[in-house]
Amino acid sequence: MTSRDSSRRSFLKSSVALAGTAPLLAGARPGSAAPLMAYVGTFSSPLRDMLPTQVDLPPGNGRGIHLFQVDRTTGALTPAGIFELGTSPSCLVANAAGTRLYSSNETDRVGDDKHGSIAAFAVNRTTGQLELLNSVRSGGAGPTYLSIHPSGRFLFVANYFGGSVAVLPILADGQLGEPTDVKIDTGKIGPRRASNAPPGSFALSGHDRTHAHMIEADPSGRYVLHVDLGLDQIFVNRFDDRTGRLTPNDPAAVTLPPGDGPRHFDFHPNGRWFYAIQEEASTIVRFDYDASTGRLSPRQTISTLPPGFAGSNFCSEILISADGKYLYAGNRLHDSVAIFTVGPTGELTYVGEEWTRGNYPRSFNFDPTGRFFYSCNQRGDNIAVFEVNRTTGRLKFTGQYTPVGNPSIIVFVDLAV
């Protein structure tokens, strides 16, 4: 048995449970469009008979990675199978070609090691089904976010519970190699109360220690940014795409207001504006981004909540439309998606919000056309589908709910050649 075979068996024993939709997945009929697939990562219960002593997290209602075929006309999701994992594959990312899918398995430990794991899958380009290629350690406990370098040759990992980020090489066959670099966040932990919290807020989450929450390269691939919620900082590193190593930029970090808790960020399509969402403050900070130096300059802070809101809220996802005209921000407890217009200099103007039709929207995403918007309502055990008004940026509920236990993320792969 090779080390990869051993890793495959001890890390991620799995099975695929087809949902009786084989005729839909037999490929495209002559003259029809090829399937559009959706993959949903979940918080999943440990499979005690398959993965003994592996998972050290509260159980979830998901069963692993849930597969769906997407109706291109209505946005509806039809079950197409489950790749069963008891490791809470809470974040997924697909490569640009749609041939590989990677999952962060948000565990505190694998066996006796305080690490999570990252799994690589091959995507069957006819059926959309998944085949496990290999899995590797994530470089820290609780990997919560993944992204792929623009070159397609490296995978970046943010380890929330480990307070670290890692670089994993993507090999020629799509498998993952051992980390080429691991960086552990250090610094002064922020206060438990956010500087910009709404009145009456008890939104206390990650200011107990370091918590790396997101990592992603800038559009050029020269710089890699990541946020640490516990440190209230956005770190900037130069990236060497020959060695896969990170080097602190000058300055090495930008500090957010104490306790505000930066969680996720998104670049505007023009590459010059950068937006960070703060989990505990329920704010968005807009920065100017200098792509030549990797420097961030703050320009605006705006609330994700409606005027007059008081109480607790935890922000989640942030996403800019492909045309760059609108920004969407997730509110958990308020259970809404805040909608903003993006002005000619990048400034945000609050338009309103849309109820997510479910509890605790952890993340959301557009389909590849940008016509439909999918909200993963983690505690509501469903995904709600909305139609996007391209003129106003508003969302209109389609009436479609898809049941999924503790959905965390949805990504799309177009099987059209």
Q: What is the mean pLDDT of residues 213-227?
A: 98
- Name the residue with higher pLDDT: 5 or 34: 34
Cα–Cα dist 133/93, whole Å = 15
Q: What is the mean pLDDT of residues 209-228?
A: 98
Decide yes or no: CATH 2.130.10.10 for domain 100-396. Answer: yes
Indicate if the pLDDT at residue 18 is higher than 80.
Answer: no
Per the prediction, the chain carries an average pLDDT of 90
pLDDT recorded at residue 109 = 67
The 10s digit of each residue's pLDDT in 104-143 is 998 776 666 778 999 999 999 999 999 999 999 999 999 9
The 10s digit of each residue's pLDDT in 313-368 is 999 999 999 999 999 999 999 999 999 999 999 999 999 999 999 999 999 999 99
The 10s digit of each residue's pLDDT in 61-106 is 999 999 999 999 999 999 999 999 988 999 999 999 999 999 999 8
Q: What is the mean pLDDT of residues 208-215?
A: 97
**Whose structure tokens read 């008081």?**
310
Q: What is the mean pLDDT of residues 199-209?
A: 92
**Helices H / strands E in the chain, number of each:** 1, 29
CB 85 within 8 A of CB 101: no
Indicate if the pLDDT at residue 413 is higher than 90.
Answer: yes
CB 257 within 8 A of CB 232: yes
Rounded to 5 degrees, φ, ψ at 392 are -110, -15
